[in-house]
Amino acid sequence: MKEAARPGADRSGDPYLPEHGNGGYRTRHYDLELDYRIATNRLTGKATVTAVATHGLSRLSLDLAGLRVAQVLVDGAAARFTHVRQKLHVRPAREVPAGAEFRVEVRYAGRPRPVAGRWGDIGWDELADGVLVASQPVGAPSWFPCDDHPADKASYRIAVTAATPYTVVATGKLTDRRRGASTTTWLYELPEPTSSYLVSVQIGRYERVNLYSGEPAQRAAVPTRLRQRFAHDFGRQGEMMHAFQRFFGPYPFAEYAVVVTDDDLDDPVEAQAMSVFGANHVDGRRTHERLVAHELAHQWFGNSLTVADWRHIWLNEGFATYAEWLWSGASGGPPVEALARMWHARLRARPADLRIADPGVARMFDERLYKRGALTLHALRREVGDEGFFRLLRAWVAEHRHGTVTTPEFTALAERHAGRPLADLFGAWLYAAPLPALPPR
């Protein structure tokens, strides 16, 4: 959970990104009504944020970047507001009492653009013919006002109106589609608690196809020119889903969506119950199937189980990387042991200056964190045995379903399942910089 913030604070208390997120309340639900004009990159929005005050609020703030605010209402009454850089500061007409539920309605418009930062441009991004939204870790304010901290999870209703030739895919389940004279409104509902950075909208000239005929439903949106290659590259999606449910427990959402943009992307993108790939990730030879596995695994590790703050990012990326190795072994590729040995040797040749339980903001997405996180899990597996290891993973997923997690919570659960202290193992792998040897098998 977020650290306690002072009344009306416009900072989250996150040790890495304190300026993102806000104090004084917890969100419960976002209702987003969006109208997007593709030709002019013009977004008009109405966001209604339902929240609960953690103490009396004479003022509050939301994260919003680069868009012009026209009006703010709090519980139906006009509120004074100022919008400075990426913070929307709001003064309700009446103080919101501690413990009270309240609603903030924000009407806004403009030409959305990504949020610039140390990781490049993140958020709402124009493609050659459509839109990509990739918000991890700080891009959500590029398109809607929010409490932009991973620990503040809420449900969502997202309605997007766009020109009829375009398909809109948003996080959640498609519950309605209304066609007008030249536009279509797509309505998605996401009841599971979701962090703002995991909410997404994708707009393009896509074909909508079924990935898998079983449960959970798996759907895709793909450019026509990539349809045949996509069918091969994602042809084992049903097998992958079954394998991961065997390893980790039931899939945590109602369905799963894959979007392939008509543009190239440096890296795939995970969102809640959705993964987004670039055209360059689809070549008809399954070259990038490890990335398909990585993004699917994030639905358990990162999306259902979300880090309480960004220090714990290895709980997302180390687990998803280990899932790549598990799928490789399950699908006839190199076994986990071989991949672990290979990556251990590669990391041994690189600088040993990373403590993955607290890597620092500049190294949140360092490749070494991904691989060493996976090696940490493999070391734990060797220590406790296969049966105990997978029982632990399934318990970890079940006990924290749709919640937030920390490294100490994981290590404590591992010790309970092992029935003995594991401080030496976790101390060496998570909190010390030198790369340890893998425990004997």
Helices assigned H by DSSP within 308-357: 314-330, 336-348
pLDDT band at 9 (very low <50, low <70, confident <90, very high): low
Q: In terms of C-beta density within 10 A (0-12 exposed, 13-18 middle, 19 or more buried), how is residue 28 classed?
A: middle
The answer to whether the CB of 106 falls within 8 A of the CB of 51 is no
What is the sign of the dihedral through the CA atoms of 267, 305, 250 and 217? negative
Residues contacting residue 145 through CB under 8 Å, at least 6 positions apart: 47, 49, 62, 63, 64, 69, 88, 104, 106, 108
Domain boundaries 1-113+136-195, corresponding CATH code: 2.60.40.1730
- Reported as a single tens digit per residue, the pLDDT across 332-342 is 999 999 999 99
- Reported as a single tens digit per residue, the pLDDT across 381-437 is 999 999 999 999 999 999 999 999 999 999 999 999 999 999 999 999 999 999 999
DSSP 78: E
Res. 3: pLDDT tops 80: no
Asked if domains 1-113+136-195 and 306-431 share a fold, the reply is no
Q: Does residue 274 or residue 5 have the better pLDDT?
A: 274
Going from the C-alpha of 183 to that of each of 40, 166, 203, 283, the distances in angstroms are 15, 9, 13, 33
Confidence at residue 117, expressed as pLDDT on a 0 to 100 scale: 84
> Does domain 306-431 fall into CATH 3.30.465.10?
no
Domain ranges of the chain: 1-113+136-195, 306-431
pTM of the entire predicted model:
0.96
Res. 319: pLDDT tops 60: yes
Confidence at residue 12, expressed as pLDDT on a 0 to 100 scale: 79
With tokens 């390893």, the residue in question is 247
Res. 6: pLDDT tops 50: no
Confidence at residue 10, expressed as pLDDT on a 0 to 100 scale: 74
* Strand locations in 357-435 (E): 404-405
If you average pLDDT over every residue of the chain, what do you get?
96
The dihedral over CA atoms of 269, 137, 271, 318, expressed in degrees to the nearest 10, equals: 70
The answer to whether the CB of 388 falls within 8 A of the CB of 417 is yes
The answer to whether the CB of 66 falls within 8 A of the CB of 113 is yes
Residues contacting residue 435 through CB under 8 Å, at least 6 positions apart: 344, 347, 348, 352, 372
Res. 4: pLDDT tops 60: no
Residues 100 and 86: their CA atoms lie apart, in Å, by: 26
Res. 2: pLDDT tops 70: no
Helices assigned H by DSSP within 162-285: 227-233, 237-248
Name residue 160's amino acid: V
Residues 110 and 398: their CA atoms lie apart, in Å, by: 42
Residues 154 and 84: their CA atoms lie apart, in Å, by: 25
Confidence at residue 214, expressed as pLDDT on a 0 to 100 scale: 86
Confidence at residue 441, expressed as pLDDT on a 0 to 100 scale: 83
- Reported as a single tens digit per residue, the pLDDT across 236-272 is 999 999 999 999 999 999 999 999 999 999 999 999 9
Backbone angles phi, psi at 203, to 5 degrees: -130, 130
Helix, strand, coil in percent for the chain, rounding step 5: 30, 35, 40
